[in-house]
Amino acid sequence: MKQMTEAQLNELEQDLNAIRDEVLADLGERDANYIRRVVRLHRALEVGGRVMMPFGFIPPVFVAATAALGLSKIIENMEIGHNVMHGQYDWMNDPSLHSQTYEWDTACDSDSWRLTHNYEHHTYTNIIGKDRDYGYALLRLSDDEKWRPAHSLQFVNYILLSVFFQWGVALHEMEFERVRRGEVSLKEKLPFFKGFLRKGGRQAFKDYVFFPLITFPVAPIVLAGNVGANLIRNLWSSTVIFCGHFTQDAETFTEEECEGESKGHWYLRQLSGSSNFSGNRFVHLLSGHLSYQMEHHVFPDLPAHRYPEISEKVQAVCKKHGIHYNTGSFAKQYGTVLKRIFSYSLPDRVRQRIAPQMA
Amino acid sequence: MLSRIERSSALQWLGKQLFNREDPTAFFDPLLERINPMWVQQYTPARVERVIDETADTKTFVLKPAKRWSGFEAGQHVNICIDIDGVRRNRTFSLSSAPAQWNDQSTVTLTIKRLPGGLVTNWMHDHLQAGDTLGLGEAFGDFLVPEASEPLLYIAGGSGITPVLSQLETLAASDYRAPVTLLYFVRTQADIIGAEKLYSLRQNWPAFTLNVVATNESEQPRFLRESDLEEVPGIKARRCYLCGPKGLMDLAGDLLDRQGIAEDRRHSTFFAAARAALDTDSLGGAVHFSRSDLNVSSEGDAVLLDIAEAAKLSPRYGCRMGICHQCSCKKTSGTVVNRLTGKSSGPGEENIQLCISVPQGPVTVEL
């Protein structure tokens, strides 16, 4: 992380606050119309997908139905659920778009998400030991963690995590690694686990029991389509999220350097620990604008569709303060993520020999 | 049809599983709204049928609520919600029409005066047109007509006449025989709200006496005075109904005390007067945590999260710096100042972040 004096950090804070204030002052009908349009698109895709699915014995219809349902889940999770739960639309005072009551279409219980993501991940971003999103307690992605032989298989773990991403996220708060180390007891985790069963059960019931059953003669087709739609969503969201913090230049931090940090330091850490990728409007929509992860991490509660507009200003602030604005094409950024997962699966000595830039 | 699903508990349960929400029927709103705004399920929609000018600054909105609306009693009020610049605003108004009109024509009326600086009333005057829809809550309030026939006195001021209009019309239609007197205080004769209705009641309903007093037409303001009450025949036996601005209500209260009219024979209802803008130094105030039924007072720039914790409550919180929205919570009334922006909230129901909201005067929070 760039070393900055307190005065410089204060200036950074003011520069970013100015961008934030400008957007806040301008929030209104345009933002409300945007999110309502996206919600309408989601409803149309979900209804369309579910209605077409029983006719999936016609192959092109199966593809269209699965794609529509998959897209609907992606849009609901990324652009609606994730962003609404950040409080981006609380100012609208619409109970159906309120951060504390919104429940999304994925196995993870919203209350658990609000705790592990909104609070833990967004407050302690990339602080090793405090941000459990860093590697999901499953992957070794920096030198902060010592290499163990089990890490050599972490690429397989990564693929499994991506395939079952909604379940991984849903069980995140279970803290298996801490339970295993005896830091928390299973009993303490019981309330969480009940919540997991309720929400996860509800999601599994809907996609894997209810909709196949009511379309009984074609149940296998509907089941396959629903599994496919969930898989599409899992792979895409996992990929987008990995591109947000695990690219080559996304930094990690220690607890010591962040102790009692100022807002300016928090801003600097958010910028240094996040990374963007470029793309067209459709890509940004499907990623819930997490393709602007840096903007999202400095302003998590500004409506995400504003990130493209403020990106230039954030870049200018970064340039002024000499902070690296970490962006690139999707392929390039994702490539560095894969490389990171692979190279940290190797023992340090091997890694330094074949991938010295990761050392 | 969808609202019928609400009533079946098995379907309701299934809906919650499928749509991940407590109001599953509202899941389709974004699509239904496009086809017909009256099909929206999240709130009870009401279509504006007509807008009638009452006075220079007062309009009557004739509304046709969706069939599932449960109706009301004369003198009750409703919450309405309207999206203004993307923000849903909730406000309470009295219904000015009689329940008979709802039963016969399925319409109700709201008679609304522009409040100086008022966001919602001015917006309604300037933008709300026939064909638009707004959200209507269920009626509530205990400002109701007497069960048995007895002499009545109404004292109303300005737009405080609205629930009174509903009651008078209801009484007249029930052929109410006991004497009914209305003392109606208006600034000038041009400010009489519901003039046509009142004059026609006076003509066709023998039990009714109308006394309109213009307060601002003479050099000295002409307020309610003792002689106004003394001129009402059999004043001491009358049941009294009050609705108007605070000054009039206080004055009437004192004068009715002197007439020896017992508290349980007096009824008054709220009057939505705009609170004068508070100066920004006057932070702090009485805080009511409604779910825990706890009252505390705060001083200076203490935020609601600290105030709640000092009161031994443990609201959910996260970053305590306005980032994570873990502590977002519903404020049902009162004004708060955002510590980060220094901006004041509106007075109505809305969501606030406890960790950065400082009370400015009395505040009620759902906690």
- The ipTM, to two decimals, is 0.89
Which residues on chain A are in Cβ contact (under 8 Å) with B20? 103-105, 202
Has residue A351 got a pLDDT over 70? yes
Which residues on chain A are in Cβ contact (under 8 Å) with B88? 92-94
Residues 80-109 of A with CB under 8 A from B: 85-87, 90-96, 98-101, 103-105
CA distance A119 to A113: 9
> Mind listing the pLDDT tens digit for each residue in A44-99?
999 999 999 999 999 999 999 999 999 999 999 999 999 999 999 999 989 899 98
Element housing B16 (H / E): helix B9-19
**Residue A343 pLDDT class (50, 70, 90 cuts):** very high
CA distance A273 to A214: 47
CA dihedral B296→B302→B306→B308, nearest 10 degrees, is: 20
Distance from CA of B151 to the nearest CA of A (A): 45
Residue A28 to residue B353, Cβ atoms within 8 A: no
Please indicate if any CB of chain B lies within 8 Å of the CB of A177. Answer: no
In terms of pLDDT, which residue wins out, B151 or B9? B151
- From residue B8, how far is each of B11, B24, B43, B143 by CA, in Å? 5, 12, 18, 33
CB atoms within 10 A of CB A332: 14
**Residue B271 pLDDT class (50, 70, 90 cuts):** low
Please indicate if any CB of chain A lies within 8 Å of the CB of B26. Answer: yes
CA distance B201 to B229: 21
- What pLDDT does B324 receive? 73
> Mind listing the pLDDT tens digit for each residue in A135-160?
888 999 998 889 999 999 999 999 99
**Residue B19 pLDDT class (50, 70, 90 cuts):** very high
CA distance B57 to A76: 45
> Mind listing the pLDDT tens digit for each residue in A245-304?
999 999 999 999 999 899 999 999 999 999 999 999 999 999 999 999 999 999 999 999
Determine contact, residues B211/B181, Cβ cutoff 8 Å: yes
Instruction: Please tell me which of the candidates B14, B86, B325 has its beta carbon nearest to residue A301.
Output: B325
Across B334-363, average pLDDT? 89
Searching chain B, which residue's CA lies closest to the CA of residue A18?
B341
Q: Which amino acid is at B148?
A: A
- The three-state secondary structure class of B59 is strand
Distance from CA of A23 to the nearest CA of B (A): 12
Searching chain B, which residue's CA lies closest to the CA of residue A45?
B31
B235 DSSP assignment: G
Which residues on chain B are in Cβ contact (under 8 Å) with A262? none
B239 DSSP assignment: E
Interface test with B, best of A37, A93, A270 (most B CBs within 10 A): A93
CA distance A85 to A78: 10
Has residue B1 got a pLDDT over 60? no
Please indicate if any CB of chain B lies within 8 Å of the CB of A191. Answer: no
Has residue B346 got a pLDDT over 90? no
Distance from CA of B95 to the nearest CA of A (A): 24
Q: Is the dihedral of CA A328, A330, A332, A336 positive or negative?
A: positive
In three state form, how does the secondary structure of A83-145 look?
HHHCCCCHHHCCHHHCCCCCCCCCCCCHHHHHHHHHHHHHHCCCECCCCCCCHHHCCCCCCCC
- What pLDDT does A279 receive? 95
> Mind listing the pLDDT tens digit for each residue in B231-249?
999 999 999 999 998 889 8
Interface test with B, best of A16, A83, A100, A120 (most B CBs within 10 A): A100
Instruction: Please tell me which of the candidates B14, B27, B85 has its beta carbon nearest to residue A29.
Output: B85
Residue B86 to residue A29, Cβ atoms within 8 A: yes
Please indicate if any CB of chain A lies within 8 Å of the CB of B275. Answer: no
Please indicate if any CB of chain B lies within 8 Å of the CB of A132. Answer: no
List of E strands, B142-238? 152-157, 180-186, 208-214
- What pLDDT does A144 receive? 87
The most confident of A39-48, B82-91, B218-227, by mean pLDDT: A39-48
In terms of pLDDT, which residue wins out, B181 or B309? B181
Interface test with B, best of A37, A96, A202 (most B CBs within 10 A): A96
CA distance A318 to A355: 28
Residue A122 to residue B319, Cβ atoms within 8 A: yes
Has residue B276 got a pLDDT over 70? no
- What pLDDT does B364 receive? 95
Any idea how long chain B is?
367
Has residue B202 got a pLDDT over 70? yes
Please indicate if any CB of chain A lies within 8 Å of the CB of B24. Answer: no
CA distance B59 to B54: 5
Residue B86 to residue A96, Cβ atoms within 8 A: no
CA distance A265 to A10: 8
Q: Give the residue from B226, B60, B33 showing the smallest Cα distance to A94.
A: B33
Q: Give the residue from A235, A73, A231 showing the smallest Cα distance to A159.
A: A235
CA distance A331 to A276: 12
Q: Give the residue from A242, A211, A199, A239 showing the smallest Cα distance to A102.
A: A199
User: For chain B, which domains are there?
Assistant: 2-136 (2.40.30.10), 152-268 (3.40.50.80), 284-365 (3.10.20.30)
- What pLDDT does B272 receive? 44
- Contacts for A118 with CB less than 8 Å, ≥ 6 apart: A85, A86, A300, B318, B324, B325, B326
Which residues on chain A are in Cβ contact (under 8 Å) with B325? 85-87, 90, 99-100, 114, 118, 301
Number of H helices, E strands in chain B: 10, 16
> Rounded to two decimals, what is the model's pTM?
0.88
Residue B326 to residue A93, Cβ atoms within 8 A: no
Q: Give the residue from A34, A35, A52 showing the smallest Cα distance to A229.
A: A52
Determine contact, residues B72/B29, Cβ cutoff 8 Å: no
CB atoms within 10 A of CB A234: 25
Which residues on chain B are in Cβ contact (under 8 Å) with A115? 318, 326
CA distance A140 to A332: 21
Which residues on chain A are in Cβ contact (under 8 Å) with B34? 40
Q: What is the mean pLDDT of chain A?
A: 95
- Percent of chain B topping pLDDT 90: 68
Please indicate if any CB of chain B lies within 8 Å of the CB of A178. Answer: no
Q: Give the residue from A279, A253, A296, A260 showing the smallest Cα distance to A126.
A: A253
Determine contact, residues B143/B267, Cβ cutoff 8 Å: yes
**Residue A356 pLDDT class (50, 70, 90 cuts):** low
Q: Give the residue from B296, B320, B322 showing the smallest Cα distance to B307.
A: B296
CA distance A120 to A136: 12
Sheet strands side by side (includes B44-55):
B87-94, B77-84, B133-136, B44-55, B58-65, B108-113
- What pLDDT does B4 receive? 55
A171 DSSP assignment: T
Searching chain A, which residue's CA lies closest to the CA of residue B20?
A103
Q: Give the residue from B255, B358, B237, B353 showing the smallest Cα distance to B303.
A: B358
**Residue B334 pLDDT class (50, 70, 90 cuts):** very high
Tokens of A41: 């698109």
Has residue A332 got a pLDDT over 50? yes
Q: Which amino acid is at B121?
A: T
Both ends of chain B: CA-CA distance in Å?
Answer: 35
Q: Is the dihedral of CA B11, B13, B14, B18 positive or negative?
A: positive
Has residue B257 got a pLDDT over 90? yes
Instruction: Please tell me which of the candidates A47, A105, A122 has its beta carbon nearest to residue B20.
Output: A105
B279 DSSP assignment: P
**Residue B323 pLDDT class (50, 70, 90 cuts):** confident
- The three-state secondary structure class of B265 is helix
Has residue B279 got a pLDDT over 60? no
CA distance B53 to A135: 65
Residues 280-309 of A with CB under 8 A from B: 300-301
> Mind listing the pLDDT tens digit for each residue in B43-74?
999 999 999 999 999 999 999 999 999 999 99
- What pLDDT does A359 receive? 46
Residue B328 to residue A28, Cβ atoms within 8 A: no
- What pLDDT does B273 receive? 40
- What pLDDT does A358 receive? 57
- Percent of chain A topping pLDDT 70: 99
- The three-state secondary structure class of A182 is coil
Q: What is the mean pLDDT of chain B?
A: 90
CA distance B286 to B292: 15
Q: Give the residue from B329, B324, B355, B331 showing the smallest Cα distance to B345.
A: B331
- What pLDDT does A120 receive? 93
